Chains A and B, each alone.
Chain A
Amino acid sequence: MKRRKGTNENLMTKAGGELDDRFKLAGPARVLMNKVFPDHWSFLLGEIALFSFILLLLTGTFLALFFEPSMTHVTYEGSYVPLQGVGMSKAYESTLNISFEVRGGLIMRQMHHWASLLFMAAILVHMMRVFFTGAFRAPRETNWMIGILLFWLGFFNGFTGYSLPDDGLSGTGLRIAEGMTESVPFLGPWVSAALFGGAFPGDEVIARFYILHVFVLPLALLALITVHVGLVFAQKHTQWPGPGRTEHNVVGYRMFPNYVMKQVGFMLLVFGVVTAMSGLFQINPLWMFGPYEASVVSSGSQPDFYVMFMDGLIRLFPAWEFRVPPYFTLPAVFWPGIVGMGLSVLLPLLYPLLERRFTKDRGHHNLLQRPRDTPARTGLGVMVIVFWVIGVVSGGNDVFAQAFHISLNAMTWGGRIGIVVLPIVAYYLTYRFCLGLQQHDREVLAHGLETGILMRDPEGRFYEVHQPLVEPDERGHTELEYSGATVPKKMNRIGVLEPAQRGFFKSIEEPSDEDGRRDQIETGNKR
């Protein structure tokens, strides 16, 4: 045993030497392996997006082996009985074939779709974490902007993707996109004719969307994701304030083995969850929608969730059309569809610069902020979230109306009023809530934790016992300054009330010998 181990080590050294001779790796490899990463669960949200993107590339490549991006007319002869003999495009036929005729094709399709939904959801949540903690401040504005571009690239990659099968649902989405395109003054009809190769739907659009979906957009995503993650690496990750943490250091654990093992584990976890979901939960059963026909649509046809916001805005926007007959028309859909989308790209893109302008804060920041400490920004963020959620809900208002027996008109009017009023209410409430939380932090720092122990003094009054965080002065006050870090609010946060021994049925701990432990810290020797 011993000897074999020795030879292995020699082999490693030898291989390393050969590599270093050629690529001069010793220095960079050490720097990479030693790099220190800060730890917090919210730093994993971006990773979920990254891992689902990898999954999208893998499953997408499989699908591309079987999908035919062609609008050539064929008659379906496959094994799905209800559609036998129906005329459809090759694109739809080949998608049906992936679902029914290709071994394991269905689960691949469903994995691709679930991964895309997870991708977009993870981007959104990641974006919220970056926003609410102020991680986008200098020097990381560039990465925020790249992030916004990633969201919109993902949005269009998703839209082109679910347009490809040319089924009833995707054709309806395309038709709406075409109507929006047409609405642009002066350019609209030309852009639409260029996109569809003439009148809608024509027979070019699937092939055009295909190259966008499998080449242009993923390539742009891949390039930007590389830069995005590269910048996180080069600029070093932000960290939460805490003992020993400053603007000029990073406290955490090493890239190797700790960080990398956790990342690999987490990636496999994301893969596993998506795979299991794709086996168990149906997504986009497009054989039920039939081929796209310009005259057929069913109610309750919803786009994927990240597009629903646009759909909701279009539903809510009032019928305001500007017309100078017979020369000029500005369709109502232009406002929510084109202007609305433009602003949702532009405003978030510029947000770091706008905030800089208002706060006049030009410094670099590597410590994160707690949302409660920036009530205005937090309020603004919640405002946007409320606006977005009302948009999404309105995008499915017919479904809600039916499920809850509300009249559709009431849903629409509720949405119209709500989308104007509720964000403002949300801003105000959030602002107050943040101030309240700040107040509570200061109280704990001054008086200590609430222990939940009620006492009665000799006069019969009740009071709650407080546990000061440090030795109090004679008036029971503690002079602790708020540092931007979490303030403990519960007794078990400061080590009280922890189970004395670990193990469920019987103790699995052996009494540790403190001295041995000391030794190892000093020498770092593990064995």
Chain B
Amino acid sequence: MGMMKHLMVRSRRRSLWMMHFCLGGCNGCSIEIMAALTPMYDLERFGILNTGNPKHTDVLLVGGSVNHRNRRTLKNLIDQIPAPRLIVAVGTCALTGGIFNEAYNIIGGANRVVDVDVYVPGCPPKPEAVIDGILSGLDKFEQ
């Protein structure tokens, strides 16, 4: 039994599907997320596959800050993602709003709307940092 459980935990860690959603940032962060998916960095080595459907998603990468309009969209998306889910905020915008923090249409970082599990600082973070961020949050799938 213990063996089975161990196997299950291991396989769950190695078979996650991810989705990225870009909010009100400069989309520099979503470019870096794309770069982390492509051959040079290749998140698929860890079994992480890009998907476009929130219902299949285990890992959500959020780039950019929350504004008054996309707040609802983000909330909607999160509600469609089944638990356990890992939410990674990528980039300064998604952490605090960054340089746009004082703009009239910006509410702040992604943590204003959802419970973020891992914060990856950088503007934009290097793809290595994105990989680090995802990997450091994988413990969540071990329970």
The finding on whether chains A and B are genuine partners in a shared complex, rather than unrelated, reads no
